[in-house]
Amino acid sequence: MARLGREAWVKLIEEFTASGLSQREFAEQKQVSLATLQFWIYKLRRETKARFVPVHVVASTAPAARDLESGIIEVATRAGLLLRFGADIDPKYIAAILAELG
């Protein structure tokens, strides 16, 4: 297979993620080097973790969000997770958790 550029690898890694195949099976099926596939998976995941995710603050009628005296911060992810933190938590910790969740 000819040498692939970055955009081709991004697409290929997306295909791999959706395939349900092992890395070895996918590499054999697409006729790419297993080591190169693993490198690009690592590289793209690392880049993804380094990005900031947009956060939209919205009013909520949820009891914990309404009750500011309770000292709770709620964070809803695009995946539908609702995370609750004490108001005294370090924002960097929240950011680190959100980065891990992608």
Would the pTM count as exceeding 0.75? no
CB-hemisphere CA count at 13 Å for 27? 13
Ramachandran quadrant class, 20 (left: phi over 0; alpha: psi -120 to 50; beta: rest)? left
pLDDT digits (tens, 9 = 90+) for 10-54: 999 999 999 999 999 999 999 999 999 999 999 888 876 656 667
Contacts of 33 (CB under 8 A, 6+ apart): 27
pLDDT digits (tens, 9 = 90+) for 46-68: 876 656 667 777 766 655 544 55
3-state SS assignment for residue 77: coil
pLDDT digits (tens, 9 = 90+) for 78-92: 777 888 888 788 888
Phi first, then psi, for residue 22 (nearest 5°) are -70, 165
